[in-house]
């Protein structure tokens, strides 16, 4: 599976892209992070409406590309907020996601809300907070999206967060603590993957990494990508694939039931 960042929906030809993906036999998902001017957790109804329009467009794009998953920061802006979230803003995000979930359901698209660290959202920073948020949204096609990079910053236990999320986990990012090559940082992928196997997770596991060599200046600035940890995308991707498939096989063996 290839995840497309849909920050700029007009950036590519959808029909041509779908033809290429079908030709090489790869499935596609979409991801998104809202901005301060499209933040559905804003107290400003006009900004919320702009955010909902962006999200509906992203749902359409995912469906047009033949995908069924839209993930990422769909509930607030990808930004370091200057203050805590408010009840009104949270309520706006919950209401917007209920409407988006019903809209997405018509396209056969599921939404997975990515739990991010404190520097990239003020609304939900842990799986526990995310589950409460899901309860409030109350739609079966809205699940959680966990990312090891963010979990490493916020969770007391990465495995514990996965086990608590259980069948409400819809999407996974594997990223290193430094967002570079898998295995080059602090993340304990073995215990994380064993927890995924324990809950019987069968959804996408997508590698995510950033470098100013390939990421545009806007996103680099928002994410704080100030150092280049790699320059060769192909080498990075093939290494990630072999690293994670081997680690998944080990986790499968570790959690295998013999009786
Ligand atoms: Mn992520």
Q: Is a pLDDT exceeding 90 seen at residue 212?
A: no
Active site residue 114: yes
The answer to whether 124 and 115 have CB atoms below 8 angstroms apart is yes
Encode pLDDT of 15-58 as tens digits: 999 999 999 999 999 999 999 999 999 999 999 999 999 999 99
Residues 41 and 5: beta-carbon distance below 8 Å: no
The catalytic residue among 114, 120, 155, 176 is 114
- Report pLDDT for 215: 83
User: Tokens in use for 97?
Assistant: 């996601």
Q: Residue 184's beta-bridge partner residues?
A: none
Active site residue 208: yes
CA of 258 to the centre of ligand 1 (A): 34
CA of 221 to the centre of ligand 1 (A): 16
Grade residue 213 by pLDDT with cuts at 50, 70 and 90. Answer: confident
Spell out the alpha helix ranges (H) of 114-180. 127-137, 148-154, 158-165
In terms of DSSP bridges, do strands 205-207 and 169-174 run parallel, antiparallel, or are they unpaired?
Answer: parallel
pLDDT digits (tens, 9 = 90+) for 133-192: 999 999 999 999 999 999 999 999 999 999 999 999 999 999 999 999 999 999 999 999
> Helices (H) and strands (E) in the chain — how many of each?
9, 7
pLDDT at 259 over 80: no
CA of 207 to the centre of ligand 1 (A): 8
Is residue 64 pLDDT above 80, yes or no?
yes
- Structure confidence at residue 106 as a pLDDT band (50, 70, 90): very high
Q: Does pLDDT of 119 surpass 80?
A: yes
Confidence of residue 227 (pLDDT cuts 50, 70, 90): confident
Q: How far apart are the first and last CA of the chain?
A: 33
Q: How far is CA 171 from CA 44, 122, 205, 217, 231, in A?
A: 30, 21, 7, 27, 27
The CA 252 to ligand 1 mean position distance, Å, reads 23
User: Is residue 98 within 8 Å of residue 136, measured between CB atoms?
Assistant: no
Contact status, residue 212 vs residue 228, Cβ threshold 8 Å: yes
d(CA 103, CA 74): 14
Angle between helices 127-137 and 87-105 (to 10 degrees): 70
CA of 153 to the centre of ligand 1 (A): 13
């Amino acid at each position: 599976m290839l995840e497309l960042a849909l920050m700029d929906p007009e950036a590519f030809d959808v029909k041509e892209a779908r033809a290429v993906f079908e030709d090489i036999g790869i499935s596609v998902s979409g991801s998104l992070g809202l901005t301060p001017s499209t933040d559905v957790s804003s107290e400003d109804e006009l900004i919320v409406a702009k955010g909902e329009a962006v999200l509906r467009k992203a749902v359409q794009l995912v469906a047009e590309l033949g995908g069924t998953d839209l993930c990422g920061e769909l509930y607030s802006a990808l930004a370091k907020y200057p203050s805590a979230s408010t009840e009104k803003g949270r309520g706006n995000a919950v209401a917007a996601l209920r409407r988006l979930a019903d809209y997405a359901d018509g396209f056969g698209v599921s939404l997975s809300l990515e739990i991010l660290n404190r520097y990239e959202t003020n609304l939900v920073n842990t799986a526990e907070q995310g589950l409460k948020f899901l309860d409030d949204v109350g739609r079966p096609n809205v699940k959680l999206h966990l990312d090891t990079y963010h979990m490493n910053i916020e969770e007391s236990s990465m495995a514990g967060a996965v086990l608590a999320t259980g069948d409400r986990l819809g999407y996974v990012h594997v990223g290193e603590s430094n967002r570079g090559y898998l295995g080059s940082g602090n993340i304990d992928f073995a215990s994380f993957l064993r927890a995924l196997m324990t809950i019987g997770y069968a959804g996408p596991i997508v590698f995510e990494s950033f470098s100013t060599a390939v990421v545009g200046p806007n996103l680099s600035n928002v994410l704080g990508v100030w150092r280049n940890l790699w320059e060769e995308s192909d080498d990075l991707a093939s290494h990630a694939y072999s690293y994670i498939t081997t680690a998944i096989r080990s986790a499968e063996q570790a959690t295998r039931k013999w009786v």
